[in-house]
Chain A
């Protein structure tokens, strides 16, 4: 008998709030964290960024008794979110029945910049950041970092589900974050993937993506008996086997991941699909094809990049959490920035909040390396 994997606590730290609820209320009200930057260090072209105020972060750290000077900004992101979620869950994080899983793409990469000082170079290793977090909680288990580009946040939850299913652990703390340093911004600029105006997912005039900073955590629990609340019912990761930086023109990997999730979890009660919706020409087009092929073209879709930008390691977790709040609130969140259909297979997207019908959602992501991932959560009262 498979165990039931419940989400028992969550947290989102972003420019739109320090808790999941604050974030949800602000998103529902249409607020965005995106702002225009003319430059950053040696990056001299303008770009949009949803950036966490460093003073606000330090204040949050003080409130949570996180010692000053010991942690990098990226590590503070991980800690502020995971501490709040672990407290909310009321679990003992030092138990050997708890596993810590970190989702990030670039971690402390900003330490490679010769102008950045104050921390030893070895902290650039992602495993060191993960150990820093598990050690903070006094957890005895070896943490693992999921590093699968933009889909890491969904993969980390899938891996947590598997680790819990195995019976070795009873709880998993899954935290994702990425700092938007000149390293990442310059790279995306070199890809001509960024736009210097607010992004417009699925819109005919979309011109590229925005980046954003966020830390998000879910605490998952395995139960042997049927449980109520949010249940992570299935997930899948599939590769396009097409190109390392461009999505498949036929949406192959996303389609396969969606089909596997639908096979495991069914379509009943599906309120919406929370898509990747980066607002690049290729991504949104690919997603529309994958949704169409999976028979989901009529299901409402919603994308959150217009509020947060692309938050990379946090995206899969934060967007899952906001989706949980939206389902419980009976709302399909507006896709901020969308105005007019701009993909071959018209997706069911709206610039306004809409009523949601159902107890389930699918979270879909795709990323560099040709990887794609989907998962499904359902709410049982």
Chain B
């Protein structure tokens, strides 16, 4: 095994408007864009009707996280079981731009001015972290950071910083961008303290993963 291969140990899912990859396995689909998200949800999950109410950013983040956790065989917390030791830390450049545009349409014309609360709530990018926390009963930290570009150095640094919370033992971490309902890019990974201990190594690893999004 070469040094480069040794560094690549994070398991991750990638979703773009053209396809879905779960830990290296490409999922089959007939559609692209928003129709593909619904298709994949129905084929792979289908157990959370709230999915249909989500905006694109949340749908993409939700799908990526669910597919990853399922692939890794994570047991789902149910009933009164909750965990505070898993944080959700996400990054992106567009934040909620897609939802912002959709909401703006509901208030743009005075003749057709009907502000939609269901669209407005998604004009906050951290809602996707909330959707994932609700589904998985995670009561740990949830954070959304916006960067000016694909900056894996900053990402690695802020991910490492997240472990300064003593309670946090693992991170559901990722990148999610969406400019409109048919344009999105996302990856999700699960990491523990050890994965974040070597900053340069983590940055390299993130670089490799982010190449899938371009």
Q: Do A and B interact with each other, yes or no?
A: yes
Which of B's residues lie within 8 Å of A, judged by CB?
A: 82, 84, 88, 93-95, 97, 100-101, 103-104, 107-110, 113, 115-117, 120-121, 123-127, 129-131, 133-134, 136-149, 151, 153-154, 157-158, 160-162, 164-165, 167
A-side interface residues, number (CB < 8 Å)? 55
- Give the complex CA separation of A186 and B117 in angstroms: 9
| Contact of A187 with B127 at beta-carbon distance under 8 Å, contacts A162-B164, A166-B160 already known | no
- Give the complex CA separation of A220 and B164 in angstroms: 17
Measured between C-beta atoms, what is the minimum distance from A158 to chain B in Å? 9
- Give the complex CA separation of A109 and B99 in angstroms: 11
Q: Does A296 contact B (CB under 8 A)?
A: no
A252 — which chain B residues lie within 8 A by C-beta? Answer: 82, 139
The B interface, classified by DSSP as helix, strand, loop or mixed, is: mixed
Contact check, B145 vs A147: say whether CB atoms are below 8 A apart.
Answer: yes
15 interchain pairs, CB-CB under 8 A: A105-B124, A113-B104, A143-B148, A144-B146, A148-B144, A163-B161, A191-B117, A238-B84, A239-B139, A239-B142, A240-B139, A241-B136, A368-B121, A368-B126, A371-B130
- Give the complex CA separation of A236 and B115 in angstroms: 34
Q: Does A204 contact B (CB under 8 A)?
A: no
Contact check, A146 vs B143: say whether CB atoms are below 8 A apart.
Answer: yes
Measured between C-beta atoms, what is the minimum distance from B137 to chain A in Å? 5
Which one of A11-19, A66-74, A119-127, A355-363 contacts B? Answer: A119-127
Contact check, B101 vs A112: say whether CB atoms are below 8 A apart.
Answer: yes
- Give the complex CA separation of A112 and B113 in angstroms: 15
Contact check, A142 vs B108: say whether CB atoms are below 8 A apart.
Answer: no
- Give the complex CA separation of A371 and B158 in angstroms: 18
Which one of A242-250, A285-293, A336-344 contacts B? Answer: A242-250
Contact check, A144 vs B130: say whether CB atoms are below 8 A apart.
Answer: no
Measured between C-beta atoms, what is the minimum distance from A205 to chain B in Å? 24
A109 — which chain B residues lie within 8 A by C-beta? Answer: 100, 123
Which residues, 285 to 340 on A, are CB-close (under 8 Å) to B?
Answer: none
User: Per a CB cutoff under 8 Å, which of A183, A237, A240, A244 touches B141?
Assistant: A237
Contact check, B165 vs A236: say whether CB atoms are below 8 A apart.
Answer: yes
B100 — which chain A residues lie within 8 A by C-beta? Answer: 106, 109, 112, 124, 183
- Give the complex CA separation of A147 and B142 in angstroms: 11
- Give the complex CA separation of A42 and B110 in angstroms: 6
